Structure 1
Amino acid sequence: MEDILRPIYQERASQSETLGVLMVEKRQKARPITDLFDIVLLTIVKDAEQPVFVKHYQYNHQKAALFVVTEQQINEWILLGSNRRLIDWLLNGKVLFDRNEYVSQLRTELREFPFQGRKLKMAIEFAKLIRRYMDGKTFYDNNHYLDAFNHVVHSLHHLARLEVIEQGFHPEVTVWNQVRQIGPEIFKLYDELVNSDEPLPKRLELLFLASEFLIHSRTKIGAAHLLDLLKQKEYWTINDLLTHEEVKNYAVDLPVLIEYLIDKHFVEVLQVETKGQGLYHRYYRVVE
């Protein structure tokens, strides 16, 4: 089918905005990688009216998908981890066109995974982890065990992704296969939660007891991005933090993360009087 698609990607490659074109073929045991399509063509462009443009093709019994994605969208997906297939496409796809070694340099950056980029990605995952974990605990305390289970599974997933990132790798679609090797204690927690014969309330109780230490032991590295930012000023209002450019990618989970860090004595509250009697502003600063 590559021969049939050649005119399509050659036309894209001839356009000055195109930075690179990659082809990803379906691997029989990895169908989620290509969304059940036989071939995915990923075209990265400098700029476009739409950040993502998709076309589907069919030839005989084979299907192909063309993605035209802006450089900005690619960078956002890499940062937020919101399109995990992308990492596989970029690292393992066949390069059909590469303007000024753009794809080659992007692959090098992905493999080297600079620590500063990792620190922000870990902050995003850790904030999501705390949100899910705290919500799960609340549901558990109120005997809503199925809702608690749902949130706990998601919290473990974020914990797994955090572990993978901390070790210098990008989480992939098969993140639990990665974690089996990188963080076996996290994989064991997940396996016991999902596969144990214990009643669900008991499984959740054991999970909360075991995961408390794992999460707490990763607080310093998971919250490093936020704690470093807090050190830049004597104190911060919540609005200062929520509107800060570096925090916007995990701002939705920031209030819960702040409260968790207060509880664990990484952050403290500074009370400042208002005009209302007995009413105080809350400001936040790092515990020195």
Structure 2
Amino acid sequence: MHPRCDSSEEEREHRLLFEFAGFVHAYVQAREEMQSGSLLDAHSSTLAALHHWAHIELAEITIKPKASVWRQIRRYHPGIHKLYEELTGSTESLEQRLKLVLLGCEFAMMDKLKTCTALIFRVLNSREEPWSYDELRAHPSLSWIEDDLDMLLNKLLSKGYIREVAVIGSDGSFNDLELRLSAVV
């Protein structure tokens, strides 16, 4: 019998969003490091991305990650474990291993984007009016992820899951237009 989380759906959403933000952040950092030729740094960032991805998979099935997450993930998601083995032990060049694992991470990131950002959607849908970026950053459910929130919002915008809406300023003129965000229904 595996350990189950005794948490509410909102806590699970927080956990998924936290791990997903770490996943995307580490992935983007690894890509930048590869482009600059810093392959050892890219390796470290890619390993961090895989670690976050493993935590996402475990959170989705409500299993608490243990210190031996790679042993757990081998059982519950062998594909991620295979990428981990590829990154850490393959005979391919480091650059080739990084490219392969980052490609897998990219597909997973796009696949997990909407489900792992459910908390953002819940906030966006909690009222009828679109939200300003500052309002989202200050919202109690999202303020803890302020550093990565813009990155996640940009990913959601680029995939068409949310949209920017121009809102006329409080004085009724077009001089004070503000871009706000709303979920695409």
TM-score per shorter chain, which class?
Answer: 0.7 to 0.9
1:191 is paired with a residue of what secondary structure?
Answer: helix
- Between 1:265-274 and 1:189-198, the stretch displaced more is 265-274
Counterparts of 2:17 and 2:117, CA distance in 1 = 6
Match of 1:248 in 2: 143
More helix, by proportion:
2
Match of 2:26 in 1: 132
For residue 146 of structure 1, report the CA deviation from its aligned partner. 2.0
Counterparts of 2:131 and 2:8, CA distance in 1 = 28
More strand, by proportion:
1
Letter in 2 for 1:243: A
Say whether residues 1:264 and 2:163 are aligned partners: no
1:218 is paired with a residue of what secondary structure?
Answer: helix
Q: Is the 8 A contact 1:113 1:169 kept in 2?
A: no
Match of 1:182 in 2: 76
From the superposition, tell whether residues 145 and 224 of structure 1 become closer, same or farther in structure 2 (CA, over 3 Å): same
In the alignment, which of 132, 135, 142 is matched to residue 237 of structure 1?
Answer: 132
Counterparts of 2:81 and 2:144, CA distance in 1 = 27
Percent of aligned pairs sharing the same letter: 27
Say whether residues 1:287 and 2:184 are aligned partners: yes
Spell out the pairing of 1:269-280 with structure 2 (5 A cutoff): 269-272=164-167
Counterparts of 1:207 and 1:122, CA distance in 2 = 21
**TM-score, length basis structure 2:** 0.86
Alignment length (residue pairs): 179
1:200-232 CA-to-partner distances (Å, cap 9, x unmatched) read 111111122222222211122211111111112
From the superposition, tell whether residues 170 and 249 of structure 1 become closer, same or farther in structure 2 (CA, over 3 Å): farther
2:181 is paired with a residue of what secondary structure?
Answer: strand
From the superposition, tell whether residues 111 and 148 of structure 1 become closer, same or farther in structure 2 (CA, over 3 Å): closer
Return 5+ residue gaps in structure 2 as ranges.
none
For residue 273 of structure 1, report the CA deviation from its aligned partner. 6.7
1:19-49 CA-to-partner distances (Å, cap 9, x unmatched) read xxxxxxxxxxxxxxxxxxxxxxxxxxxxxxx
Q: Is the 8 A contact 2:49 2:105 kept in 1?
A: no
Counterparts of 2:161 and 2:140, CA distance in 1 = 22
For residue 255 of structure 1, report the CA deviation from its aligned partner. 1.2
1:81-126 CA-to-partner distances (Å, cap 9, x unmatched) read xxxxxxxxxx9xxxxxxxxxxxxxxxxxx64433332111111111
From the superposition, tell whether residues 153 and 286 of structure 1 become closer, same or farther in structure 2 (CA, over 3 Å): same
Counterparts of 2:38 and 2:143, CA distance in 1 = 31
CA RMSD of aligned residues (A): 2.3
Say whether residues 1:196 and 2:90 are aligned partners: yes
Greater RCO structure (CA 8 Å; 6+ sep):
2
Counterparts of 2:182 and 2:113, CA distance in 1 = 16
Q: Is the 8 A contact 1:130 1:260 kept in 2?
A: no
Say whether residues 1:145 and 2:47 are aligned partners: no
